[in-house]
Structure 1
Amino acid sequence: MHLELRHLRILQAVSEHGSLTRAAAALGISQPTLTKQVQRIEEELGAPVFLRGRQGAQPTEFGSFVLARTKAVLTNIEEILAYRPHRGELGNVRFGGTMPSWVGGVLDWLESLDAATGVTVRAERTIGTDVDMVVGRRLDLAIVADYPGHLLEPRPELVYRTVAVEPVFIALCTDHPLAAQEEVRLQDLADEIWVVPHSDGLGWPEHLHDACAAVGFYPNARYRLFDTALRRELVATGRAVAACQASLRADENIAVRPISGNPLWMRHLMLWHRDGAIAGYSDDLIRVAQEAQHASIEASPAYSAWALHYGESPSEAELFHSP
């Protein structure tokens, strides 16, 4: 057997998903089939790439060496295949990033531009990956977030525009005693179990940790995961609380409340390549994104009440400045 690109993609999928079962589901094949393919790849390489056990599939020392080079190869191949000289037309727009609740308005607008314009969406686990993909022209457009004290470092190839600066709220079960309050003090959550995502590589949940430390505790993050549906389930059933975007949809099981004193903030940034086709639509794109973000405020009772009480957010320069 000779190594092919499909074999490298298999290794990358197992590495990204952390288990053969999840990687098989993402690749659309059965777990036994994937296991056999990984075994054949390892036989060709001459040593195990992964150790399989209860913790999933973890790279061996040799595997870490292989996977680092696998990622580099695939990144270069994707950039070669994705590169399109600027001709002024949009064509298929490759969109990525944090995907806030109001992103649907942006997607609708992009798809309405022309019958030939389609949109594909790709969500990565780290913001740095999103930025690298726009630099490498594997994404045309991305929405990312940064936080006070944890600012996105500009890249000369990219254009950055601020869509909004928002407070971060808390989500908790509607049966939780604190859900009866209009605002929740952060220190009153010191004894709670938290569901917290893995680091996005830019400042979350580090910004949360900073704010909690300032009031005397470190969040008990018993649950660390990316899966947003499972996070909602854990909050809805009272197993955990979670920091959340202010526009998070509340329901009969989940209450969304502001945090007293507004200790947590986030900034939504939209970015694209300077000479990409999307640059010609930049002003309209930001306008549409800001309109969609304002609509999300109106659709959220908690966010609307907060905006009515506090008025405008502090200035971007006040919250997001380099030390």
Structure 2
Amino acid sequence: MRLDDFDKDINVEDQRGQSFGGGGGGGLLLGLLPLIGSRFGCGGIVVVLLIFAVFGGLGNIGGLLTGGDSAPSTQVSRNGAGSAGGGGATAACSVDAATRSTCNAFSSAENTWERLFAQSGQRFQAPKLVFYGGQGMSGCGAASSAMGPFYCPSDQGVYIDTGFFDELVQKYRAAGDFAQYYVVAHEFGHHIQTLTGASEQVRQAQARGSREEGNALSVRLELQADCYAGVWAAQNRDRLEPGDIQEGMRAAEAIGDDTLQREAQGRVVPESFTHGTSAQRQAWLNRGLQSGDPAVCDTFSGAI
């Protein structure tokens, strides 16, 4: 996919090379995350937080996740002036090829969704892009490479450890630039859900329901983010190259709950799904790709 270079005024934060404290509840939480297949988005994180709320009480969420110990991050504002060392988005996004590629996709998604919101008369608020290496800190608590890319609604940040893209190729056999762009666009889709209120509605419903009901709602949230990723790609259809869509579909298949569970434990447990099956993820990504219309991404009405 041929993307323009990132806009210099995107909001980028670079935590790579920084030291973050941790332990206690944070270690336990990070140990639970892989059990629910939380590879993308904050939906799986929400489910785990609910478990903590039931069995241990959330209290200070940041303290629970990280032990209350963190280092300041480098914030790059919309005007490109970094608060810890300067250099702006240009410096943060030029570390390596994977970083630049991520910034290009993030910038494209931001421009696309800002335009779509303007067309529908809605107010758009841009998220921030946060790079971290191995470990980091988010408004949702500790960040770890074991979590994969995710979105935190508390600080409206898309968190990326670019090392995941190597894992995407080597472990999940999902190569190609569009596979990486799909990951970024999916996380950006979670930001759109924050702006529309869908994330908060799901959170409230999860708090009232059972764990199985919470998982089912998480699946619908994740599939909608897949659809939104497809909408972004469709809105930039003139940028697509031969093989791009196939790359996206391979990535969606590789990270389906059923595929991940079958490979990890040899069996599938549908009631524990938090992101949807491979077929569902492909179907909703394709729905967005075919239409380019966010209105077709209503995963909360009817069957999925």
TM-score (norm: length of structure 1): 0.27
Specify the structure having the higher radius of gyration (Cα): 1
TM-score computed with the length of structure 2 as normaliser:
0.28
Greater share of helix = 2
Larger strand percent: 1
